[in-house]
Structure formats: C-alpha cells, structure tokens
Structure 1
C-alpha cells in the first residue's frame, strides 16, 4: 500500500535560505509556464504540452544560470503541477462543475518543491539535498516502504519533509466481528449505531473572533511593509492552529472506530454538492467530513478493516430501524419522530446510524461473504 510520512525539518538559516530560493525559482517557472499556456490558447486555442515545456528547460538554464543549481526533477515537477492544474480546470468545465482558472503565484504563494529518485540522500536522521544543504529530521516515527518522492514544504515559517512511499507494510489488527454504523452531522460530529454521540468541536467557529481581528490588522497594514508580512504570518498561524486541532480530533475519532470494529459503515455523501448550500457550507467545512472519511479509508486498509459506503440515496433517516417502514413526511428540522407503523420513538441521528450499520453489513456480506 501507499502512504506518506511527514516530519519537521531542522537546519541553519543559510540552508533554509537556499530552500527559500528554490521556492522562488519554482514560483517564477510556474508563472512563466502558465503565461505560455495562456498565450498558446489565445492563439487559435492552441495548446503547449507539458512535454514541450520540459524540453525547454535546458534553454532556460542556459539563459538564467541561477536555475542550474535547482534540481532538474524539481523544475520538471513544477511544470507537471501546472499541467495538472490546467487540465483539471478544463476537465471540471466540461463536467459542468464550477472551476477556477489556474492563478499566477505571488510571493509566498508557492510553498513546496518535490524530488524523485535523485538529488537527495537520507542518512539516519539527516537529509542532504544537493545544492541546498543538510537538514535534521525530527523522526517521530520510522519511515516504512520504498521512498518514491521527497517533498520539502514551508508552512508558516516552519519547514517539513514528506516522504511518499510504496510497498508500506500493512499493520493488521486482530480480527473483529463487531460492526458499527456512523451518521455524521453538524450539531454532533457523528452518532454511531450504539447510540454514542461525538460532539462537534467546531474549531473554526471558536477561532472566528481571533481570525477577524488578525485579518483586520493585516488589511490595515501598508502593502510591502514588514508589518504587513508579520500580520499575514499571524493570520496563517491562526489557520494552522485550527487545522492542527481539527486533524488531531479526526485522527483520534477514526482510530477509535478502526481499533474497535471490524466493519465500519458510512453514507456515500456528496459533500462537494452539500457545501454549495451557503447556509451549511461553513459548518460542513468546519466538520471536515471528507477528511474524516479519507482517514477512515486509509486506516481501514492499513489495519485490515472493512469500510462500507452505503448508497447515496438510501433513506437512512426516514426508515424505521425497528420495522422498516419509511416516513416520507420527515423533515430536516425533525430531530425526533414516531413511527406510525409500530409506534417507536426515534432519535433521528441514532435511527439513521442503525440503518447505516444494517445496510452496510448486508452489502459487506454480499461482497465478502460470511468468511
């Protein structure tokens, strides 16, 4: 299986200054490449391929000697990223989705570079990148598998390394016959089919006042001034804190269910479509359902668990988990309801979670059998 390992990088100012210089060169190349694509499109809707742009790199290095120190694979990856963003724009347009055209990258808007098999060397806790320098890695856990790419990233003045690996060993957990259904929500982050409700911490909502103050301070600073740069960093740190809190919460919840249950059933929600509802978009984004589902998926694969997604239009909330009758009159605002067929009082989310678990187990048996 594939997996990424992210660690903090430590080093001296000179080494990080060189890494910063690489980011600047990458950003400039990205912008030049984007300008080429725009120009080609304006001329009779022509295209310039990623392959053609990569073939122009030797000319670039000859004309601008400063690019000679930047790894060739790093520069190629910049053009590959641009090509992916450019093609993605047209793909989304064709499918009818809302799409933003790739933008030129301003200062501090290009934050990573990637190397493949050459240009770097790993020696225990130390990473050496040719023409940049030597870093110390804060190895919080061992690297597993075969390293395919190495990405150096800058986040709010801190530097990180991300190793993307293949053939990572699966860490199978002891087999479990226990099954659970999870119904995600906004008031509660989720309710499971055993009746346990996990509160929604709403980290973004909690930080909105601080973010507003820092955003206001940033907007009042003079463009290009040191004060504006410092204010921008404070805004970025506030967002980073929200992200770190949210990630820690999501990992802990996902780990709990992966550790204790063999079959985890969830709804195949169209989160992207739901976010278009401006009344719910901020709350859904703050809850990070998509991130949670992705964590469940990769952790389930690693642990040998089965993650089952039930069909998107399964009426899990409207179906009575006791008798199977469907309440067609149920509204989104109804948090409790009584089944007219059997008279059972239902909590909306708990009832949905039980139905999700039931349908998920049925699908799991049809797919994998009883063994």
Structure 2
C-alpha cells in the first residue's frame, strides 16, 4: 500500500529564503491562472455566441511561459515544476468545481486567490534522493531534517509546505502491510465529547479539547495583534504568535488521534464505528465547537488506512442504527435524551454508561455483519 511521510526541515536563512521564493512563484502562478480563467468565464457569459475554450493545465502553462515568464525573470530563479504543479492543481480545482459534489449534494466551491503567508506550499519533481537525515531536492540541493527518514526510497515528487514559521516536506512511498498480533477480536468504538472514545471493552480515552484549552490564550493574542499598526513589524510578529498557537492546537489534536487510531488498529481484529453525519451534527450550535474540536473526519481517515496497514478490519455501522437507544443486554429500544449520560433499561433494569452501552451495541453489529 502507499502511505505518506511528513517531517520538518532543518533550515538556515538562505534555505528559508529559497523555499519562500518557490512558494511565492507557485502562488503567483496560481493567482495569475485563476484571474485568467475568471476573465474567460466572464467573457463566455457575456458573449454566449463567441465562447472561448476553457484552458487546460497545459494551455495555462504555455500561456505562462509566453506571457508571464518573459516579463518576470525571477521565475527562472526557482524550479520550473513549482509553477507547473500550481497550474495543475488549479485545473483540478476547476474540474471539481464543474463536476464534483459534496456529501450534501452541493457543488464544490469556486477556487480562491492565495495570499502570502497563508497555506504556503509548492511541489517539486525530478531527482529526489532520500538520505539518513537529509534529502536532496531539485534546485534546492541537500536539506537536513530533524528526524531519520525512511531508507531505500526514490520518490518522484515532494511537497514542501509552511505552517507558521516551520517548513515541512512530505512524499509518498510503497510499504508492505504489517500484520500485528491482535489482543481483542471485535471491538465497538463510540466517539463522544466528554470522552474522546469509549471501547466496548470498557477502555476509555480522554478528550484533550485542544481548542477549548487554548481559547483564552488565542483570544488574548488576537486582541494584541489587532492593536498593532497595519503593515508594521510588530503586527507581523503578533500575527505569527497567533499562527503558532493555531498550529500548536492542531498538533495536539493530530497527536491524540494518531495515538488512538494506531492503538486501535494494532490491537483489535475488527473495529466497528458509526457512520456519523458530522455536518448535520454541526448544526447544533450548542455543541458545534466541541464536535469540530474532536476531528471526527480525521479519526475516520486515519483509522481506514491504519486498519489496512496493520491487518485489521474496519466495519462501518449504518448511520441510522440506534446504538445509544438500544439496550446492549436485552435489545430493548427506548428514548434516550442527550442530557442523560446513564442508560437505565426499562425492561431488564440494567444501568450502564451511555457511551459504553453504545460501544457494546456496535460490537454486536460486527457479528451480524459478518454473518
């Protein structure tokens, strides 16, 4: 199977400048291509009888070489693949806008212009050599890393991105699945707000709530940044502090989910999770912030590929399965308001934690689905 590897780069000032130039050229090519496509769409709308053909990624690159590179010689200071891939991604974004729809049946949003310092990234293609603690990139040379890299790799492409003031590189490679010894045969996993995950075995994982824990500090930093003069170095430094705090919050969430999903995939033969309607749950404005802080989509994404990597089976229970309303002992279904955290069965008089009851019902689903 194919997985991705991402690590932070150990840079000097010259290398930081070179990476910033590559990201700036990629951003300029994206914005130029987006502006050209918007003008073509507007012209076709105003002149339906004389429509122009919408440009492909190859057309955009030809126009870029003919019109833009001739007037901007700093394009030649960076790798040619940086603007090429930016235009490829732009073409893919327009294809999604015209054809693709979300889970709610809505069309994917129109591509947006990029701004300096926000989601800076670029893609490199060519001779990429992975060493023990360094990587050789086209036009950039050898760049050190903070951690050891997988050996025996020769990736064709690599993506360099910036988060706050830190630069990262990511690439994909093939790996053989590793079948681990499983401790539990089947396990139901119920996600919650107070407790991140409750397993049918009774094991629970606490929710760090990274955004709620950092909300006060984030508000203070944003207030301080808003008081600085626009365009000043002090405002730039204050905004960088805000960005670092956002990155720290996201890293805590990613670290928690990575540890949880790895533990589940390595030690359980079968995992049963619910097919949650997250966008519908977000409409509850009392719980929307807490639900967004969980990272439910990221949990599902990580668990999917890690089950394949470690030889586990992931089972998705039906979205309308009443896991919280069903008694895990006798199967009686009764109303269960969200405020009640203990399930008291009216038929067999069992008293059990609400999340544990739902996890055990999901575990029962594994035997039914397999049968």
TM-score (norm 2): 0.90
* Match status 1:10 vs 2:17: no
Aligned mates of 2:112, 2:152 — CA distance in 1: 36
Is 1:102 aligned with 2:108? no
- Residues 130 and 340 of structure 1: CA distance in aligned 2, closer, same or farther (over 3 Å): closer
**1:109-128 equivalences in 2 (<5 Å):** 109-116=118-125, 118-128=126-136
Determine if the alignment matches structure 1 residue 360 to structure 2 residue 366: yes
Aligned residues: 362
* Aligned position for 2:211: 204
| Matches of 1:224 and 1:281, distance apart in 2 | 34
**1:345 and 2:351 correspond:** yes
Deviations 1:244-282 (A, max 9, x none): 222222122222222321111111112233223322221
CA RMSD of aligned residues (A): 2.2
Partner of 1:135: 143
Aligned to 1:369: none
Equivalent pair of 1:193/1:350 in contact (CA under 8 Å):
yes
In structure 2, the gaps of 5 or more residues are 46-51
Maintained 8 Å contact 2:188/2:272: yes
Q: Is the 8 A contact 1:144 1:168 kept in 2?
A: no
User: Match for residue 276 of structure 1?
Assistant: 283
Residue by residue over 1:285-344, the C-alpha shift from the partner in whole angstroms, topping out at 9 and shown as x without a partner, is 1111221222211211111111111111111111111111211x3222222233233222
User: How far off its partner does 1:99 sit?
Assistant: 5.5
Corresponding residue of 2:340: 334
Shift of 1:173: 0.7
Match of 1:265 in 2: 272
Counterpart CA distance in 2 for 1:274 and 1:215 is: 28
Q: Which moved more, 1:209-218 or 1:149-158?
A: 149-158
**Conserved in 2, the CA contact under 8 Å of 1:24 and 1:110?**
no
Q: Distance in 2 between matches of 1:312 and 1:94?
A: 14
Instruction: Please tell me whether the aligned partners of residues 112 and 153 of structure 1 are also in contact (alpha carbons under 8 angstroms).
Output: yes
Q: Taking structure 1 as reference, are residues 354 and 24 closer, same or farther at Cα in structure 2, changes over 3 Å only?
A: same
Query: Where do 1:178-197 residues align within 5 Å?
Result: 178-197=185-204
Q: 2:284 is paired with a residue of what secondary structure? A: coil
Q: Does 1:173 align with 2:180?
A: yes
Aligned partner of 2:330 among 308, 317, 323: 323
- Aligned equivalent of 1:68, options 76, 93, 99: 76
Structure 1 regions of 5+ residues with no counterpart?
A: 367-371
Q: Cα 1:244–1:110, aligned 2, differ >3 Å: closer, same or farther?
A: closer
Q: Which is worse superposed, 124-133 or 204-213?
A: 124-133
Instruction: State the secondary structure of the residue aligned to 2:328.
Output: coil
Mapping for residues 287-326 of structure 1, pairs under 5 Å: 287-326=294-333
Deviation at residue 127 of structure 1 after TM alignment: 2.3
CA–CA distance in structure 2, aligned partners of residues 175 and 93 of structure 1: 36
Q: TM-score of the superposition, structure 1-length normalised?
A: 0.90
- How far the C-alpha of 1:177 sits from its partner, in A, is 5.4
How big is the shift at 1:27? 1.0
Given that residues 341 and 354 in structure 2 are in contact (C-alpha distance below 8 angstroms), is that contact kept between their aligned partners in structure 1? yes
SS for the counterpart of 1:263 is strand
Q: How far apart, in 1, do the equivalents of 2:117 and 2:227 lie? A: 19
- Kept in 2, the 8 Å contact 1:191–1:198? The answer is yes
Aligned to 1:87: 95
* Secondary structure at the counterpart of residue 272 of structure 2: strand
Query: 2: CA distance between counterparts of 1:149 and 1:292?
Result: 27
Q: 1:353 to 1:177 in 2, by over 3 A?
A: closer
Distance 1:137 1:29 in 2: 28
Contact 1:15 1:134 in 2 (8 A): no
Displacement of 1:76 after TM fit? 1.7
Work out the CA distance in 2 between the residues paired with 1:283 and 1:103: 28
**Structure 2 counterpart SS, 1:63:** coil
